[in-house]
Amino acid sequence: MRRCTPQIYLGPDLLSNFDRAIQFEWIITNGLGGYASSTILNINTRKYHGLLIVAFNPPVGRHLLLSKMDEELEINENYYPLNSNEFKDVIHPEGYGNLNGFALGPFPTFYYQSCGIYMRKEILMPHLRNMVIIKYEVFNSLGDAVTLRIYPLINMRHFYETTNKRDLQFSQEKISRGVMLEAYPKEGCIALSATHGDYIPGKDVWIERMYFRIDSSRGESCFDDNYQPGFFKIELAPNKTEDFYIAAAGGRKREEVQPLYPEISEENYLRMLHAEEINRRKDLLRNFYEGKTKIREEDWLDWLILSADSFIVKRKSVNKKSIIAGYHWFEDWGRDSLISLPGLTLVTRKFREAEEILLTFKEYCKDGLMPNRFPDKIGDEPVYDSVDAALWFFNAVLQYLKYTGNFSFVYKDLWDILQDIIERHARGTRFNIRMDEDGLLLHGSRLTWMDALVNGKPVTPRRGKAVEIQALWYNALKVMEMLSSKFGYKNQAQKYGSIAEKARKSFNEKFWYSRGNYLFDVISEEKEDLSLRPNQIIATYLDFCISDFPKREKVIDVVWRKLWGVYGLRSLSSDDPKYIGKYLGDFAHRDMAYHNGTVWAWLLGPFVTAFLKAKRYKAYWKKFAFERFLQPLFCEEIYRAGLGTLSEIFDGNPPHFPRGCISQAWSVAEPLRAFVEDVLFNRPPCERQVFSILNKRKT
C-alpha cells in the first residue's frame, strides 16, 4: 500500500542562485479551473501567478483575487522582511535571501530562517472549493517575543489583464480574525481569516507597478498594481512554536463567499481539509498502481499521476467533467481534451470521469463538429473551427471501450451522435469539410492543430487533405464499422467498411512521397506539400491504421531521424527553410515558430506507440524506447520549469529550453499512456474483446 506522496526538494545551493531559481515554478489546482501558482522564490513573474485564481464560470472566466502573502518580522523594533517583489530593475525587499529551502511534497512549502526565527509556509487548495489555505509553523528560538506581520496583496482582475489602481476600489468589512473585501466597479469578492492573532485594517496602501519579467519578454502587459488592505498580526512567544492557518475564499459575488466565512476561520475544519487533500492524493496514486503488473513505484511516475488529475475539471454549464488543456491560460479545448482523455482518465482508472467528459463534448456537438474551444464568458458560443476534434472523439470512445468494454454506455448515450458526425462529414458541413470522391476528407485552411495566425493569415496553411485528418477519418470509419457490427446494424457496418477501404486505398496511392520515404503533409488540387512534419506519425499509431505496413516503418524511421528533439518531436525538420529553432519574442514571433520547428511533448505518445508496434514490442526495443525517448522528459523535465508536471513545448534547437504553458494536459497524458500501454505493455483489459468484433465479421 502506498504510504506517502512524492517530494521535490530544492535547497540553499539552488535558491541562492537567483537567476536560476526564479525560473522554477509551481502550480496547484482545485478541480474547478482555479489554481495557485508562483515561483519557488515567492516572486510572481507572470500576470497568471497568484495565490487564489478563481474560475467565475467554471472552469473558465478565471480571475486573480489574491496575488500573494508578504511576511515581515519585527524584533526589538527592527524589521526583517521575508518577502520579495520585483519592480522594474529592482527586487525589493530582498527577503528571498532568508529562504533556505523549498519543497513540493505534495504542496508547495517554503522554509525561511532569519535572526533565530524559523518559518515553514505551506500552500494548499481544497478540491472543488474556491479557497486557498496557507499553513504556518513558526519557531521563535529567541529569548524575546517577536511579532510576525503578514500582508495580503489583493487584486480583482481577469488573469489576462493587469490592474491600474485608478480603475479599482475596494470596500472592507471586518469578520472574525479577518476581512471581507468587495471590488467595484469590477465584480469580485474575497474573504480572508486567520486562526490565530488579529487582523489590523490598513490605510488603503497600493503596491504599484509590480513587474512581470516573463510577460515583458513576451511583449505583453507586465506592470500590475496590488492593494494591501491591512495585515495579520501574530505574536510569537519566546522559545515556542506557533502553528496557525490563514485561509482565503473568493467568488464573483458576496453571496458566493459569505457561506464560507465559518470555514476559513475554524482551525479544526482547515486541518480536516488539509488532511483530506493529502489523502485524496494518496488515493489517486493507490488507484493507479492497484491491479497493474510490471509497474514499479517511482517519484517521477507519481508526479505524472498527480499532474494528470490537475487537468480534470468540473464544467458548470453541463455539471459534468471536462479537461483543461493547459495551465496557466488554456481553457478546455476539444482537440486537446479528447487527445488527453485516455492518458488522464483511462490509464488512471477514472472511468466515470471519462464518461462525463465524453458526454460534455456530446452536448456541445453542432453540425457534426466538436468545439475547438469553449468561450471564456457566460453566454458566448463555443468556437467550432476544428476539423479533427470530432474525429478524435471517435478515438476517445474506442479507447474507453478498450478499458471498460461498456458498449451499453456507448449505445445508449453516444451512438446517435457518432452516426450524425459521420453523416455530416460525408455530405459536408461547415468550413468546407466534406468527403471527396476518393473517400478522403477535404477541409479548409486553418482547421488542424497547426492553427497559428500572424496578421490574420495562417502560418501553416493546410487547406485540402491533411495527412493526420485522413488517418483520423479512417479510424473513425472503422470504429463505426465495429460498433455497427456489435449493435446488429449489418448494412451500416458494410457501408462504413466500404468507405474506409476506399479511403485507405486512396491514401496509400496519393500520400506516399517515394523520394523521401515519408508521407506528404497535405495534398490538394494544386500541389503536394513536401514539408517533413510529425503529423504523419498519426497515420502510423492509431488502432485502425490507414498507412500500409511497409510504408509505416519507413515513416517512423524518417520521423525518428529528422524530427526527434529530446523532449518530443519537432514540428518541422530543421533543414527546412521555414524552420525556426527558438520560441521567443512577441506573439507574432512566437506564433511563427509554434509549428515551424518547436518541439511538442505530446507527440511522444503517438511516436512511441508507433515505434514499438513496428518493433513488435520486443523487450530490447521497449527498454530502448523508454531510455531514449521518454526518460529525458520524465526524469529531467519534471524537475524543472513547472515542478512536478510537464511543459507544453520546447525550443527546436538544443538545449530545447521549455516554453509555453508550464503544465500541459496532452504533454502529460500521451507520454504517460504510451509508457503504461506500450513500454510496460499493460494493455487495456478489454482490447481483445473489442477488436474481435471485426475479426468475427470478416469470418
pLDDT digits (tens, 9 = 90+) for 142-194: 999 999 999 999 999 999 999 999 999 999 999 989 999 999 999 999 999 99
Give me 516's grid cell: 523521401
User: How far, in Å, CA of 645 to CA of 326, rounded?
Assistant: 11
User: How far, in Å, CA of 71 to CA of 82, rounded?
Assistant: 5
Asked whether 492 and 480 are in contact (CB, 8 A), the reply is yes
Which residue(s) pair with 564 in the sheet? 569
What is the rounded radius of gyration, in angstroms, for the C-alpha atoms of the chain?
A: 26
Asked whether 51 and 248 are in contact (CB, 8 A), the reply is yes
Q: Give tens-digit pLDDT for 451-491.
A: 999 999 999 999 999 999 999 999 999 999 999 999 999 99
Distances (CA, A) of 197 to 191, 235, 236, 243: 16, 7, 10, 11
Asked whether 387 and 447 are in contact (CB, 8 A), the reply is yes
Task: Tell me which residue of 207, 274, 247 sits closest to 44, measured CA to CA.
Answer: 207
Strand 131-140 with 240-251, pairing: antiparallel
- Going by pLDDT thresholds of 50, 70 and 90, the confidence category of residue 92 is very high
Task: Tell me which residue of 329, 263, 307 sits closest to 126, measured CA to CA.
Answer: 263
Q: Give tens-digit pLDDT for 343-402.
A: 999 999 999 999 999 999 999 999 999 999 988 777 778 999 999 999 999 999 999 999
Asked whether 669 and 396 are in contact (CB, 8 A), the reply is no
Main-chain phi, psi angles of 65, to 5 degrees: -110, -40
Residue listed under C-alpha cell 469578520 = 175
Give me 191's grid cell: 474573504
Q: Give tens-digit pLDDT for 268-279.
A: 999 999 999 999
Mean pLDDT, residues 592-601 = 97
Mean pLDDT, residues 122-150 = 97
Give me 548's grid cell: 500500409
Say yes or no to pLDDT of 226 above 80. Answer: yes
Mean pLDDT score across all residues of the chain: 96
Mean pLDDT, residues 543-571 = 96
Other Cβ atoms less than 10 A from the Cβ of 623: the count is 11
Asked whether 70 and 110 are in contact (CB, 8 A), the reply is no
Hey, is 649 helix, strand or coil?
strand
Say yes or no to pLDDT of 573 above 90. Answer: yes
User: How far, in Å, CA of 354 to CA of 312, rounded?
Assistant: 10
User: How far, in Å, CA of 548 to CA of 556, rounded?
Assistant: 12
Strand (E) positions, 366-436? 434-435
Question: Would you call 196 exposed, middle or buried from its count of C-beta atoms within 10 A (0-12, 13-18, 19+)?
Answer: middle
Give me 355's grid cell: 464518461
Q: In degrees, to the nearest 5, what angle opens at C-alpha 318 toward C-alphas 272 and 329?
A: 70
User: How far, in Å, CA of 672 to CA of 13, rounded?
Assistant: 32
Other Cβ atoms less than 10 A from the Cβ of 118: the count is 15
Element (H, E) at 281: helix 267-289
Mean pLDDT, residues 336-345 = 98
Task: Tell me which residue of 145, 182, 148 sits closest to 257, measured CA to CA.
Answer: 182
Which residue(s) pair with 198 in the sheet? 233
pLDDT at 52: 98
Task: Tell me which residue of 362, 363, 324, 345 sits closest to 400, measured CA to CA.
Answer: 345
Asked whether 479 and 392 are in contact (CB, 8 A), the reply is no
Distances (CA, A) of 566 to 9, 213, 442, 470, 540: 25, 27, 34, 28, 20
pLDDT at 1: 47
Which residue(s) pair with 454 in the sheet? 457
Q: At residue 293, what is the residue type? A: T
Question: Would you call 254 exposed, middle or buried from its count of C-beta atoms within 10 A (0-12, 13-18, 19+)?
Answer: middle
pLDDT at 381: 87
Asked whether 151 and 183 are in contact (CB, 8 A), the reply is no
Main-chain phi, psi angles of 168, to 5 degrees: -150, 135
Q: In degrees, to the nearest 5, what angle opens at C-alpha 549 toward C-alphas 547 and 551?
A: 70
User: How far, in Å, CA of 434 to CA of 387, rounded?
Assistant: 10
Mean pLDDT, residues 691-699 = 78
pLDDT at 2: 54
Q: Is the dihedral of CA 176, 179, 183, 184 positive or negative?
A: positive
448-468 as b/e: b if 16+ CB within 10 A = bbbbbeeeeebbbebbbbbbb
Secondary structure of 215-268 in HEC code, one letter for each residue: HHHCCCCCEEEEEEEEEEEEEECCCEEEEEEEEEEEECCHHHHHHHHHHHHCHH
Residue listed under C-alpha cell 510537464 = 646
Percent of the chain with pLDDT over 90: 93
Say yes or no to pLDDT of 411 above 70. Answer: yes
Half-sphere exposure of 202 (CA within 13 A, CB side): 19
Mean pLDDT, residues 311-321 = 96
User: How far, in Å, CA of 597 to CA of 610, rounded?
Assistant: 21
Mean pLDDT, residues 629-655 = 96
Give me 56's grid cell: 467565475
Distances (CA, A) of 222 to 160, 164, 218, 399: 11, 11, 9, 43
Element (H, E) at 457: strand 457-458
